[in-house]
Amino acid sequence: MSEKIRHSVTCVLIFITVISVSCDRGLHTRDIEKTQSFNEDQREDVFHNQQVECPTDKDPVIGERGAGKDSVNVFPDVESEPLVARMESGAIVERLEIPKEPLRFEKPAAVKGIYVNAWAAGSKTKSEQLIDLASRTEINTFVVDIKDASGYVSHPTRVEAAHQMGADQQIRITDLLGLLDRLHTNGIYPIARIVVVKDPLLTKKKPELAIQDNAGGGWIDEKGASWANLFEGLVWDYHLSLAKEMIAIGFPEIQWDYIRFPDSPKEHLERASFPNSLGRTRSEAVSGFLDHVRKQTQSEQVAMTADVFGATTSLNYDLGIGQLWEEVVRRVDVVLPMVYPSHYWSGSFNIEEPNQYPYEVVKAALGDGLERSSKVVNAGSIRPWLQDFSLGAPPYGGPEIRAQIQATYDAGINEWILWNAASRYTEEGLVPQEGFPEGFEPMMRFNGSVVPVSSRLMDKDSLAAVMQEDTLARPQ
Protein backbone atom coordinates (compact mmCIF):
# COMPACT_ATOMS: atom_id res chain seq x y z
CA MET A 1 0.00 0.00 0.00
CA SER A 2 1.43 3.41 -0.93
CA GLU A 3 2.05 5.98 1.81
CA LYS A 4 -0.53 8.30 0.23
CA ILE A 5 -3.23 5.63 0.28
CA ARG A 6 -2.22 4.55 3.81
CA HIS A 7 -2.51 8.15 5.01
CA SER A 8 -5.96 8.51 3.41
CA VAL A 9 -7.21 5.28 5.00
CA THR A 10 -5.85 6.34 8.40
CA CYS A 11 -7.59 9.72 8.18
CA VAL A 12 -10.91 8.04 7.32
CA LEU A 13 -10.52 5.66 10.27
CA ILE A 14 -9.75 8.54 12.62
CA PHE A 15 -12.82 10.44 11.38
CA ILE A 16 -15.06 7.39 11.86
CA THR A 17 -13.64 6.80 15.34
CA VAL A 18 -14.18 10.42 16.39
CA ILE A 19 -17.77 10.49 15.11
CA SER A 20 -18.51 7.14 16.77
CA VAL A 21 -17.14 8.24 20.14
CA SER A 22 -18.95 11.58 19.98
CA CYS A 23 -22.30 9.93 19.28
CA ASP A 24 -21.84 6.96 21.63
CA ARG A 25 -20.46 8.50 24.81
CA GLY A 26 -22.70 9.53 27.66
CA LEU A 27 -26.39 9.14 28.29
CA HIS A 28 -28.65 8.55 25.32
CA THR A 29 -31.68 9.45 27.35
CA ARG A 30 -34.07 9.31 24.41
CA ASP A 31 -33.30 5.57 24.13
CA ILE A 32 -33.69 5.02 27.86
CA GLU A 33 -36.99 6.91 27.83
CA LYS A 34 -38.49 4.06 25.78
CA THR A 35 -37.98 1.57 28.60
CA GLN A 36 -37.73 3.57 31.81
CA SER A 37 -39.63 6.43 33.41
CA PHE A 38 -38.00 9.60 34.66
CA ASN A 39 -38.26 10.05 38.42
CA GLU A 40 -37.06 13.27 40.07
CA ASP A 41 -37.52 12.04 43.69
CA GLN A 42 -35.15 12.56 45.13
CA ARG A 43 -13.37 15.22 51.75
CA GLU A 44 -11.45 15.81 52.59
CA ASP A 45 -8.31 16.22 50.33
CA VAL A 46 -8.53 13.80 47.38
CA PHE A 47 -4.96 12.64 47.79
CA HIS A 48 -3.69 9.99 50.18
CA ASN A 49 -0.72 11.11 52.21
CA GLN A 50 1.31 7.92 51.85
CA GLN A 51 4.50 7.83 49.81
CA VAL A 52 4.19 6.30 46.34
CA GLU A 53 5.56 2.80 45.85
CA CYS A 54 6.33 2.99 42.15
CA PRO A 55 6.19 -0.28 40.17
CA THR A 56 9.34 -1.09 38.20
CA ASP A 57 10.22 -3.66 35.57
CA LYS A 58 10.46 -6.13 38.48
CA ASP A 59 6.85 -5.57 39.45
CA PRO A 60 4.74 -8.69 38.74
CA VAL A 61 2.08 -6.62 37.00
CA ILE A 62 4.32 -4.28 35.03
CA GLY A 63 7.12 -6.77 34.27
CA GLU A 64 8.12 -7.18 30.62
CA ARG A 65 8.06 -10.61 29.01
CA GLY A 66 11.42 -11.98 27.97
CA ALA A 67 13.32 -9.59 30.25
CA GLY A 68 14.50 -12.35 32.53
CA LYS A 69 11.82 -11.57 35.13
CA ASP A 70 8.90 -13.73 36.15
CA SER A 71 5.67 -11.81 35.58
CA VAL A 72 2.15 -12.63 36.64
CA ASN A 73 -0.05 -13.11 33.58
CA VAL A 74 -3.62 -11.87 33.90
CA PHE A 75 -4.41 -14.18 30.97
CA PRO A 76 -1.92 -17.09 31.29
CA ASP A 77 -3.79 -19.24 28.74
CA VAL A 78 -3.37 -16.71 25.92
CA GLU A 79 -0.36 -17.18 23.67
CA SER A 80 1.14 -14.11 22.05
CA GLU A 81 4.02 -13.08 19.86
CA PRO A 82 7.18 -11.53 21.38
CA LEU A 83 6.41 -8.33 23.25
CA VAL A 84 6.58 -5.72 20.49
CA ALA A 85 4.45 -2.57 20.31
CA ARG A 86 3.59 -1.12 16.92
CA MET A 87 2.03 1.95 15.39
CA GLU A 88 -0.84 1.52 12.93
CA SER A 89 1.71 1.78 10.11
CA GLY A 90 3.46 -1.31 11.48
CA ALA A 91 6.48 0.61 12.77
CA ILE A 92 7.91 -0.82 15.99
CA VAL A 93 7.78 1.50 19.02
CA GLU A 94 10.20 1.33 21.94
CA ARG A 95 8.60 0.15 25.15
CA LEU A 96 7.67 2.59 27.90
CA GLU A 97 10.42 3.03 30.48
CA ILE A 98 9.31 3.32 34.10
CA PRO A 99 11.21 6.28 35.62
CA LYS A 100 12.94 5.82 38.96
CA GLU A 101 11.73 9.27 40.01
CA PRO A 102 8.44 10.13 38.30
CA LEU A 103 7.31 13.73 38.01
CA ARG A 104 5.12 15.13 40.76
CA PHE A 105 2.11 17.21 39.74
CA GLU A 106 0.36 19.70 41.99
CA LYS A 107 -3.41 19.63 41.73
CA PRO A 108 -4.91 23.02 40.81
CA ALA A 109 -7.11 24.76 43.34
CA ALA A 110 -9.94 24.13 40.86
CA VAL A 111 -9.65 21.74 37.91
CA LYS A 112 -10.70 23.36 34.62
CA GLY A 113 -9.96 20.83 31.97
CA ILE A 114 -10.35 19.46 28.47
CA TYR A 115 -10.40 15.93 27.08
CA VAL A 116 -7.40 15.12 24.86
CA ASN A 117 -7.86 12.06 22.67
CA ALA A 118 -4.93 9.76 21.95
CA TRP A 119 -4.40 11.09 18.42
CA ALA A 120 -4.17 14.68 19.69
CA ALA A 121 -1.97 13.73 22.64
CA GLY A 122 0.39 11.82 20.37
CA SER A 123 0.69 14.59 17.79
CA LYS A 124 3.38 17.13 18.63
CA THR A 125 1.56 19.78 16.58
CA LYS A 126 -1.91 19.18 18.02
CA SER A 127 -0.72 18.75 21.60
CA GLU A 128 1.25 22.01 21.38
CA GLN A 129 -1.86 23.77 20.06
CA LEU A 130 -3.80 22.56 23.10
CA ILE A 131 -0.98 23.54 25.45
CA ASP A 132 -1.04 26.99 23.83
CA LEU A 133 -4.81 27.13 24.41
CA ALA A 134 -4.21 26.42 28.09
CA SER A 135 -1.55 29.14 28.25
CA ARG A 136 -4.06 31.69 26.86
CA THR A 137 -7.09 30.66 28.92
CA GLU A 138 -8.28 29.31 32.24
CA ILE A 139 -7.63 25.67 31.19
CA ASN A 140 -5.23 23.93 33.59
CA THR A 141 -5.96 20.21 33.16
CA PHE A 142 -5.75 17.61 30.36
CA VAL A 143 -7.65 14.31 30.51
CA VAL A 144 -5.48 12.04 28.35
CA ASP A 145 -6.73 8.85 26.70
CA ILE A 146 -4.71 5.88 27.94
CA LYS A 147 -7.18 3.24 26.76
CA ASP A 148 -10.26 4.21 24.78
CA ALA A 149 -13.43 2.50 23.58
CA SER A 150 -11.58 0.91 20.65
CA GLY A 151 -9.81 -1.34 23.16
CA TYR A 152 -6.40 -0.04 22.09
CA VAL A 153 -3.90 1.31 24.61
CA SER A 154 -2.51 4.63 23.43
CA HIS A 155 1.12 4.15 24.54
CA PRO A 156 3.74 1.36 24.24
CA THR A 157 2.71 -0.27 27.51
CA ARG A 158 4.76 -2.83 29.43
CA VAL A 159 1.58 -4.54 30.66
CA GLU A 160 1.70 -8.01 29.15
CA ALA A 161 -2.07 -8.51 29.23
CA ALA A 162 -2.48 -5.56 26.86
CA HIS A 163 -0.03 -7.19 24.45
CA GLN A 164 -1.89 -10.49 24.70
CA MET A 165 -5.09 -8.69 23.69
CA GLY A 166 -3.35 -7.00 20.76
CA ALA A 167 -4.09 -3.67 22.42
CA ASP A 168 -0.56 -2.36 21.79
CA GLN A 169 -0.65 -2.64 18.01
CA GLN A 170 -1.98 0.86 17.19
CA ILE A 171 0.22 3.08 19.36
CA ARG A 172 -0.77 6.75 19.11
CA ILE A 173 1.33 8.30 21.89
CA THR A 174 4.87 7.11 21.22
CA ASP A 175 6.46 9.33 23.88
CA LEU A 176 4.12 9.44 26.86
CA LEU A 177 6.89 10.47 29.26
CA GLY A 178 7.80 13.34 26.95
CA LEU A 179 4.16 14.46 26.93
CA LEU A 180 4.04 14.40 30.74
CA ASP A 181 7.26 16.41 30.84
CA ARG A 182 5.78 19.10 28.58
CA LEU A 183 2.59 19.24 30.65
CA HIS A 184 4.64 19.55 33.83
CA THR A 185 6.73 22.37 32.33
CA ASN A 186 3.56 24.25 31.37
CA GLY A 187 1.80 23.74 34.70
CA ILE A 188 -0.90 21.45 33.31
CA TYR A 189 -2.39 18.75 35.55
CA PRO A 190 -2.71 15.37 33.77
CA ILE A 191 -5.46 12.80 34.30
CA ALA A 192 -5.27 9.27 32.84
CA ARG A 193 -8.58 8.15 31.30
CA ILE A 194 -9.09 4.38 31.09
CA VAL A 195 -12.17 2.90 29.39
CA VAL A 196 -13.14 -0.46 30.93
CA VAL A 197 -15.97 -2.60 29.52
CA LYS A 198 -16.23 -1.10 26.03
CA ASP A 199 -13.42 -3.27 24.68
CA PRO A 200 -13.85 -5.22 21.41
CA LEU A 201 -10.26 -6.49 21.55
CA LEU A 202 -10.73 -8.09 24.96
CA THR A 203 -14.06 -9.70 24.07
CA LYS A 204 -12.63 -11.11 20.83
CA LYS A 205 -9.52 -12.58 22.44
CA LYS A 206 -11.25 -13.71 25.62
CA PRO A 207 -14.92 -14.26 24.62
CA GLU A 208 -15.67 -15.95 27.95
CA LEU A 209 -15.15 -12.55 29.62
CA ALA A 210 -17.85 -10.94 27.47
CA ILE A 211 -21.53 -10.55 28.21
CA GLN A 212 -23.13 -13.70 26.80
CA ASP A 213 -26.21 -14.25 24.61
CA ASN A 214 -28.89 -16.58 25.94
CA ALA A 215 -29.05 -18.15 22.48
CA GLY A 216 -25.33 -18.92 22.58
CA GLY A 217 -22.13 -17.01 21.93
CA GLY A 218 -21.31 -13.47 22.87
CA TRP A 219 -24.04 -10.85 23.24
CA ILE A 220 -24.07 -8.03 20.68
CA ASP A 221 -25.79 -4.69 21.26
CA GLU A 222 -27.99 -2.83 18.77
CA LYS A 223 -24.91 -1.21 17.24
CA GLY A 224 -23.11 -4.50 16.68
CA ALA A 225 -20.72 -4.06 19.61
CA SER A 226 -19.75 -6.63 22.23
CA TRP A 227 -19.16 -5.70 25.87
CA ALA A 228 -16.87 -7.07 28.57
CA ASN A 229 -18.68 -8.41 31.62
CA LEU A 230 -18.03 -6.26 34.70
CA PHE A 231 -18.81 -9.23 36.95
CA GLU A 232 -15.54 -10.85 35.83
CA GLY A 233 -12.56 -10.26 38.12
CA LEU A 234 -10.06 -10.69 35.27
CA VAL A 235 -11.63 -7.67 33.57
CA TRP A 236 -10.93 -5.70 36.75
CA ASP A 237 -7.32 -6.87 37.03
CA TYR A 238 -6.45 -6.12 33.40
CA HIS A 239 -7.46 -2.49 33.79
CA LEU A 240 -5.96 -2.23 37.26
CA SER A 241 -2.58 -3.20 35.78
CA LEU A 242 -2.85 -0.32 33.29
CA ALA A 243 -3.73 2.08 36.10
CA LYS A 244 -0.72 0.96 38.15
CA GLU A 245 1.54 1.61 35.20
CA MET A 246 0.18 5.15 34.85
CA ILE A 247 0.67 5.77 38.57
CA ALA A 248 4.25 4.55 38.22
CA ILE A 249 5.10 7.14 35.56
CA GLY A 250 3.57 10.05 37.45
CA PHE A 251 -0.14 10.44 36.67
CA PRO A 252 -1.69 11.84 39.88
CA GLU A 253 -5.25 10.86 38.96
CA ILE A 254 -6.93 7.86 37.29
CA GLN A 255 -10.30 8.42 35.64
CA TRP A 256 -12.42 5.32 35.02
CA ASP A 257 -14.90 5.44 32.14
CA TYR A 258 -17.43 2.84 30.98
CA ILE A 259 -17.61 1.20 34.39
CA ARG A 260 -21.14 0.11 33.70
CA PHE A 261 -23.44 -2.24 31.82
CA PRO A 262 -24.96 -1.58 28.38
CA ASP A 263 -27.71 1.04 27.99
CA SER A 264 -29.37 -0.86 25.14
CA PRO A 265 -33.11 -1.09 24.42
CA LYS A 266 -35.05 -3.66 26.43
CA GLU A 267 -35.50 -6.06 23.52
CA HIS A 268 -31.74 -6.38 23.16
CA LEU A 269 -30.97 -6.67 26.86
CA GLU A 270 -33.49 -9.49 27.30
CA ARG A 271 -31.05 -11.76 25.44
CA ALA A 272 -28.07 -10.86 27.64
CA SER A 273 -26.68 -13.06 30.40
CA PHE A 274 -23.91 -12.29 32.86
CA PRO A 275 -21.74 -15.23 33.94
CA ASN A 276 -20.11 -15.06 37.37
CA SER A 277 -22.68 -12.62 38.72
CA LEU A 278 -23.09 -14.92 41.76
CA GLY A 279 -26.29 -13.21 42.83
CA ARG A 280 -24.80 -9.73 42.72
CA THR A 281 -26.67 -6.79 41.25
CA ARG A 282 -25.19 -4.63 38.51
CA SER A 283 -24.74 -1.81 41.00
CA GLU A 284 -22.80 -4.20 43.23
CA ALA A 285 -20.53 -5.07 40.30
CA VAL A 286 -19.72 -1.38 39.75
CA SER A 287 -19.16 -0.91 43.49
CA GLY A 288 -17.00 -4.04 43.63
CA PHE A 289 -14.77 -2.78 40.83
CA LEU A 290 -14.31 0.61 42.50
CA ASP A 291 -13.59 -1.02 45.87
CA HIS A 292 -11.04 -3.35 44.26
CA VAL A 293 -9.05 -0.69 42.42
CA ARG A 294 -9.10 1.55 45.48
CA LYS A 295 -7.80 -1.21 47.75
CA GLN A 296 -5.06 -2.20 45.31
CA THR A 297 -3.79 1.39 45.02
CA GLN A 298 -4.44 2.66 48.55
CA SER A 299 -0.73 2.96 49.37
CA GLU A 300 -0.17 5.26 46.41
CA GLN A 301 -0.67 9.01 46.21
CA VAL A 302 -3.31 9.01 43.50
CA ALA A 303 -6.90 10.17 43.14
CA MET A 304 -9.50 7.68 41.85
CA THR A 305 -12.34 9.22 39.85
CA ALA A 306 -15.25 7.87 37.82
CA ASP A 307 -17.38 9.02 34.89
CA VAL A 308 -21.14 8.41 35.18
CA PHE A 309 -24.24 9.13 33.13
CA GLY A 310 -25.66 12.60 33.67
CA ALA A 311 -29.07 11.29 34.70
CA THR A 312 -27.58 9.46 37.68
CA THR A 313 -27.64 12.75 39.59
CA SER A 314 -31.44 12.85 39.38
CA LEU A 315 -32.69 9.26 39.15
CA ASN A 316 -33.03 7.11 42.26
CA TYR A 317 -32.28 3.83 40.47
CA ASP A 318 -29.27 2.58 38.54
CA LEU A 319 -30.70 3.07 35.02
CA GLY A 320 -30.13 -0.64 34.42
CA ILE A 321 -26.43 0.08 33.89
CA GLY A 322 -25.29 -0.33 37.49
CA GLN A 323 -24.51 3.32 38.20
CA LEU A 324 -26.27 4.37 41.40
CA TRP A 325 -25.23 7.84 42.52
CA GLU A 326 -24.83 7.19 46.24
CA GLU A 327 -22.84 3.98 45.71
CA VAL A 328 -20.39 5.66 43.33
CA VAL A 329 -19.79 8.90 45.25
CA ARG A 330 -18.96 7.06 48.46
CA ARG A 331 -16.16 5.14 46.69
CA VAL A 332 -14.32 7.76 44.64
CA ASP A 333 -12.47 11.00 45.21
CA VAL A 334 -14.32 12.71 42.36
CA VAL A 335 -17.41 11.71 40.39
CA LEU A 336 -17.87 13.15 36.90
CA PRO A 337 -21.49 13.19 35.68
CA MET A 338 -21.84 13.78 31.93
CA VAL A 339 -24.52 16.46 32.13
CA TYR A 340 -24.61 17.24 28.40
CA PRO A 341 -27.83 19.19 27.69
CA SER A 342 -28.22 17.52 24.28
CA HIS A 343 -28.47 14.11 25.96
CA TYR A 344 -31.54 14.86 28.07
CA TRP A 345 -34.96 14.05 26.70
CA SER A 346 -37.87 16.44 26.29
CA GLY A 347 -39.49 17.18 29.63
CA SER A 348 -36.37 16.73 31.73
CA PHE A 349 -36.45 19.32 34.55
CA ASN A 350 -39.74 20.53 32.97
CA ILE A 351 -37.81 21.79 29.93
CA GLU A 352 -39.27 20.94 26.52
CA GLU A 353 -36.00 21.40 24.58
CA PRO A 354 -33.11 20.82 27.02
CA ASN A 355 -30.41 21.49 24.42
CA GLN A 356 -31.68 25.08 24.10
CA TYR A 357 -31.33 25.65 27.86
CA PRO A 358 -27.76 24.63 28.79
CA TYR A 359 -27.61 26.81 31.91
CA GLU A 360 -30.88 25.56 33.35
CA VAL A 361 -30.20 21.87 32.62
CA VAL A 362 -26.68 21.81 34.04
CA LYS A 363 -27.61 23.76 37.17
CA ALA A 364 -30.62 21.53 37.88
CA ALA A 365 -28.69 18.29 37.28
CA LEU A 366 -25.79 19.32 39.50
CA GLY A 367 -28.16 20.60 42.17
CA ASP A 368 -29.74 17.14 42.36
CA GLY A 369 -26.32 15.54 42.64
CA LEU A 370 -25.17 17.88 45.40
CA GLU A 371 -28.33 17.29 47.42
CA ARG A 372 -27.89 13.53 47.26
CA SER A 373 -24.17 13.68 47.99
CA SER A 374 -24.85 15.75 51.12
CA LYS A 375 -26.47 12.67 52.66
CA VAL A 376 -23.45 10.42 52.01
CA VAL A 377 -20.62 10.31 54.55
CA ASN A 378 -17.24 11.17 52.97
CA ALA A 379 -18.78 11.57 49.53
CA GLY A 380 -16.40 12.39 46.71
CA SER A 381 -16.59 15.83 45.13
CA ILE A 382 -18.44 16.55 41.87
CA ARG A 383 -16.68 17.66 38.71
CA PRO A 384 -19.03 17.64 35.69
CA TRP A 385 -18.28 16.85 32.08
CA LEU A 386 -19.68 19.74 30.01
CA GLN A 387 -20.64 19.78 26.34
CA ASP A 388 -18.35 21.49 23.81
CA PHE A 389 -19.90 19.93 20.71
CA SER A 390 -23.08 20.42 18.71
CA LEU A 391 -25.84 17.82 18.62
CA GLY A 392 -29.09 19.34 17.44
CA ALA A 393 -30.17 22.98 17.57
CA PRO A 394 -28.77 25.38 18.49
CA PRO A 395 -25.16 24.79 17.43
CA TYR A 396 -22.94 25.13 20.49
CA GLY A 397 -20.47 28.01 20.64
CA GLY A 398 -19.07 30.41 23.21
CA PRO A 399 -22.40 31.41 24.82
CA GLU A 400 -23.45 27.78 25.30
CA ILE A 401 -20.09 26.79 26.78
CA ARG A 402 -20.07 29.79 29.12
CA ALA A 403 -23.64 29.02 30.19
CA GLN A 404 -22.69 25.54 31.34
CA ILE A 405 -19.61 26.75 33.19
CA GLN A 406 -21.58 29.52 34.90
CA ALA A 407 -24.30 27.03 35.84
CA THR A 408 -21.64 24.84 37.45
CA TYR A 409 -20.42 27.77 39.56
CA ASP A 410 -23.94 28.85 40.45
CA ALA A 411 -24.74 25.31 41.59
CA GLY A 412 -21.85 25.56 44.05
CA ILE A 413 -19.14 23.59 42.17
CA ASN A 414 -15.86 25.16 41.04
CA GLU A 415 -14.48 22.39 38.79
CA TRP A 416 -15.40 21.15 35.31
CA ILE A 417 -14.05 19.43 32.20
CA LEU A 418 -15.08 20.03 28.58
CA TRP A 419 -15.73 17.12 26.22
CA ASN A 420 -15.15 17.22 22.49
CA ALA A 421 -14.37 13.87 20.85
CA ALA A 422 -12.03 15.50 18.31
CA SER A 423 -10.36 17.64 21.00
CA ARG A 424 -11.37 20.88 19.26
CA TYR A 425 -12.42 23.50 21.78
CA THR A 426 -14.29 26.81 21.71
CA GLU A 427 -11.92 29.44 23.06
CA GLU A 428 -14.69 32.05 22.96
CA GLY A 429 -16.36 30.26 25.88
CA LEU A 430 -13.27 30.40 28.10
CA VAL A 431 -11.89 33.13 30.34
CA PRO A 432 -8.55 34.51 29.07
CA GLN A 433 -5.53 33.84 31.27
CA GLU A 434 -5.34 37.54 32.19
CA GLY A 435 -9.11 37.82 32.65
CA PHE A 436 -11.65 39.70 30.55
CA PRO A 437 -10.86 43.31 29.57
CA GLU A 438 -12.32 45.96 31.84
CA GLY A 439 -15.94 46.66 30.96
CA PHE A 440 -16.30 43.46 28.89
CA GLU A 441 -19.03 41.01 29.83
CA PRO A 442 -19.18 37.55 28.22
CA MET A 443 -22.39 36.28 26.67
CA MET A 444 -24.23 33.12 27.64
CA ARG A 445 -27.35 31.24 26.57
CA PHE A 446 -29.96 31.73 29.27
CA ASN A 447 -33.71 31.19 29.17
CA GLY A 448 -33.41 30.28 25.49
CA SER A 449 -31.62 33.48 24.41
CA VAL A 450 -28.05 34.75 24.20
CA VAL A 451 -27.63 37.46 26.84
CA PRO A 452 -24.87 38.97 29.04
CA VAL A 453 -23.86 36.69 31.92
CA SER A 454 -25.24 39.12 34.52
CA SER A 455 -28.71 38.83 32.97
CA ARG A 456 -29.30 35.56 34.82
CA LEU A 457 -29.58 37.63 38.03
CA MET A 458 -32.21 40.05 36.68
CA ASP A 459 -35.85 40.09 37.64
CA LYS A 460 -38.34 38.72 35.13
CA ASP A 461 -39.29 42.08 33.54
CA SER A 462 -35.69 43.27 33.16
CA LEU A 463 -34.68 39.96 31.63
CA ALA A 464 -37.58 40.14 29.18
CA ALA A 465 -36.34 43.55 28.01
CA VAL A 466 -32.81 42.22 27.46
CA MET A 467 -34.16 39.24 25.54
CA GLN A 468 -36.25 41.57 23.37
CA GLU A 469 -33.10 43.55 22.53
CA ASP A 470 -31.37 40.29 21.61
CA THR A 471 -34.23 39.36 19.28
CA LEU A 472 -34.22 42.76 17.56
CA ALA A 473 -30.43 42.62 17.13
CA ARG A 474 -30.55 39.36 15.19
CA PRO A 475 -30.31 39.48 11.38
CA GLN A 476 -33.76 39.36 9.81
Whether 339 is in a domain gets the answer: yes
Quote the DSSP letter at residue 387.
E
Residue 73: predicted pLDDT: 63
Residue 308 lies in a domain: yes
Residues 171-194 pLDDT 10s = 999 999 999 999 999 999 999 999
The pLDDT of residue 96 is 94
Examine residue 470 and state whether it is found in any structural domain, yes or no.
no
Q: Could you tell me which residue, 362 or 53, shows the higher pLDDT?
A: 362
* Residue 81: predicted pLDDT: 59
In a domain, 186, yes or no: yes
pLDDT higher at 1 or 28: 1
Residue 426 structural domain: 3-443
Residue 464 maps to a domain: no
Question: What is the model's pLDDT at position 459?
Answer: 76
Band (76; pLDDT cuts 50, 70, 90): low
Q: What is this structure's pTM? A: 0.84
- Is the model more confident about 174 or about 85? 174
Domain membership of residue 208 (yes or no) is yes
Residue 148 reports pLDDT greater than 80: yes
- List, in sequence order, every beta strand (DSSP E) within 207-315: 212-213, 253-257, 272-273, 303-309
Angle at 340 between CA 372 and CA 265, to 5 degrees: 85
> What is the pLDDT at residue 78?
60
pLDDT in tens, 282-338: 999 999 999 999 999 998 989 999 999 999 999 999 999 999 999 999 999 999 999
The predicted model gives 273-289 an average pLDDT of 98
Task: Render pLDDT for 103-136 as a digit per residue (tens, 0 to 9).
Answer: 999 999 999 999 999 999 999 999 999 999 999 9
Q: What is the mean pLDDT of residues 33-45?
A: 30
Instruction: Decide if pLDDT at 18 tops 60.
Output: no
Domain with residue 190: its CATH number is: 3.20.20.80
User: Among 303, 293, 242, 240, which residue's Cα sits nearest to residue 111?
Assistant: 303
User: What confidence category does residue 27 fall into, taking pLDDT thresholds of 50, 70 and 90?
Assistant: very low
Average confidence score pLDDT of the chain: 86
* 3-state SS class at 293: helix
Backbone angles phi, psi at 349, to 5 degrees: 55, 30
Q: How far from 247 is each of 5, 25, 173, CA to CA, in Å?
A: 38, 25, 17
Q: How confident is the model at residue 473 (pLDDT cuts 50, 70, 90)?
A: low
User: Hey, CA dihedral for 239, 241, 246, 252, is it positive or negative?
Assistant: positive
The number of domains in the chain is 1
63 falls within a domain: yes
Identity of residue 42: Q
Least confident of 73-77, 160-164, 171-175: 73-77
| pLDDT value of residue 59 | 33
**Binning pLDDT at 50, 70 and 90, where does residue 400 land?**
very high
194 φ, ψ (degrees, to nearest 5): -125, 115
Residue 162: what residue type?
Answer: A
Give domain status of residue 139, yes or no.
yes
Share of the chain above pLDDT 90, in %: 75
Higher pLDDT, 55 or 294: 294
Q: How many CB atoms lie within 10 A of CB 103?
A: 16
What is the rounded distance in angstroms from the CA atom of residue 453 to the CA atom of residue 451? 6
